[in-house]
Chain A
Amino acid sequence: MMQFILKRVLWFFPTILAVAGVTFVIMNLTPGSPFQPAGANNLREDVLKQIEKQYGLDKPLPVRFVIYLGKAVRGDFGESYARRPQKVNDIMRRSIPVSLHLGAMALALATVGGLILGVLAAVNQNGIIDYFSSIFAILAFSVPSFVLGILLLLLFVIWIPEWTGWRFFRVGGWDSPRDWILPTIALGAGPFAQLARYTRSSMIDVIRSDYVRTARAKGLAEQKVILKHVLKNALIPVITLIGPLFAALGTGSFFVEQVFRVPGIGKFFVTSMSTKDHPMIMAVVLLYGVFLAVMNLVVDVLYGVIDPRIRLGGE
Chain B
Amino acid sequence: MAQETVSNAELLAEASELAPTRQSSLWKDAWRRLVKNKLAVIGMIIIATFFLVAIFAPIIAPYGEAEVVAPELRLAKPSWNFPMGLDQNGRDMFSRMVYGARVSLLVGVVAQLIVVGIGVPLGAIAGFFSGRVDNAIMRTVDVFYAIPQLLLVLLLVNMLGPGMKNIFIAIGITGWVTMARLVRGVMLSNREQEYIKAARVAGASNGYIIMRHMLPNSLTPIVVALTFGIPQAIFIEASLSFVGVGIRPPQPSWGQMVGTGQQYIQSVQHLMLFPCLAIALTMLAFTFFGDGLRDALDVRMNA
A242 within 8 Å of B by Cβ? no
Q: Are A147 and B243 in contact (CB under 8 A)?
A: no
Measured CB to CB, the closest approach of chain A to B148, in angstroms, equals 5
With the chains together, A141 CA to B235 CA distance in Å?
Answer: 12
Contact segment of B50-58, B84-92, B271-279: B271-279
Q: Which residues of B contact A283 (CB under 8 A)?
A: none
With the chains together, A111 CA to B94 CA distance in Å?
Answer: 40
Measured CB to CB, the closest approach of chain B to A172, in angstroms, equals 12
With the chains together, A16 CA to B239 CA distance in Å?
Answer: 26
Contact segment of A70-78, A88-96, A150-158: A150-158
Q: Of A22, A27, A144, A158, which is within 8 A of B235 by CB?
A: A144
Q: Are A158 and B269 in contact (CB under 8 A)?
A: yes
Asked, given contacts A158-B269, A240-B302, A273-B158, whether A15 binds B280 with beta carbons under 8 Å apart, the answer is no
Q: Are A273 and B155 in contact (CB under 8 A)?
A: yes
With the chains together, A288 CA to B146 CA distance in Å?
Answer: 9
A33 within 8 Å of B by Cβ? no
Q: Which residue of B lies closest to A23 (CB)?
A: B155
With the chains together, A19 CA to B146 CA distance in Å?
Answer: 7
Asked, given contacts A142-B287, A250-B148, whether A274 binds B245 with beta carbons under 8 Å apart, the answer is yes
Q: Of A26, A141, A274, which is within 8 A of B287 by CB?
A: A141
Q: Which residue of A lies closest to B154 (CB)?
A: A273
With the chains together, A79 CA to B279 CA distance in Å?
Answer: 39
Q: Are A158 and B266 in contact (CB under 8 A)?
A: yes
Q: Are B243 and A138 in contact (CB under 8 A)?
A: no
With the chains together, A139 CA to B39 CA distance in Å?
Answer: 12
B255-290 vs A: 1/0 string, CB under 8 Å? 000100010011001001100100110011011100
Q: Are B143 and A18 in contact (CB under 8 A)?
A: yes
With the chains together, A299 CA to B152 CA distance in Å?
Answer: 23
Q: Which residues of A contact B159 (CB under 8 A)?
A: 26-27, 29-31
Q: Are B284 and A138 in contact (CB under 8 A)?
A: yes
Measured CB to CB, the closest approach of chain A to B46, in angstroms, equals 12
The B contact surface, by secondary structure, is helix
A-B interface contact total, Cβ < 8 Å? 113
A269-293 vs B: 1/0 string, CB under 8 Å? 1100110000001000100110011
A238-268 vs B: 1/0 string, CB under 8 Å? 0010000001001100010011000000000
Q: In chain A between 1 and 42, which residues have their CB closer than 8 angstroms to a CB of chain B?
A: 11, 15-16, 18-19, 22-23, 26-27, 29-31
Asked, given contacts A22-B147, A147-B279, whether A154 binds B273 with beta carbons under 8 Å apart, the answer is yes
Q: Which residues of B contact A159 (CB under 8 A)?
A: 269
Q: In chain B between 213 and 252, which residues have their CB closer than 8 angstroms to a CB of chain A?
A: 231, 235, 238-239, 242-245
Q: In chain A between 60 and 117, which residues have their CB closer than 8 angstroms to a CB of chain B?
A: none
Measured CB to CB, the closest approach of chain B to A272, in angstroms, equals 10
A143 within 8 Å of B by Cβ? yes
A237 within 8 Å of B by Cβ? yes
Q: Which residues of A contact B279 (CB under 8 A)?
A: 143-144, 147
Q: Which residues of B contact A151 (CB under 8 A)?
A: 276, 280
Measured CB to CB, the closest approach of chain B to A25, in angstroms, equals 10
Q: Of B146, B269, B273, B302, which is within 8 A of A18 by CB?
A: B146
A146 within 8 Å of B by Cβ? yes
Q: Are A30 and B284 in contact (CB under 8 A)?
A: no
Q: Are A144 and B151 in contact (CB under 8 A)?
A: no
Measured CB to CB, the closest approach of chain B to A276, in angstroms, equals 8
Q: Which residues of A contact B286 (CB under 8 A)?
A: 142
Known A30-B158, A270-B154; 14 more pairs at CB < 8 Å = A15-B143, A142-B283, A143-B279, A143-B283, A147-B238, A150-B262, A153-B265, A154-B276, A250-B148, A251-B149, A273-B245, A289-B146, A289-B147, A292-B146
The contact sample of 6 A-B pairs, CB cut-off 8 A, is A22-B143, A23-B147, A26-B156, A154-B273, A292-B147, A292-B148
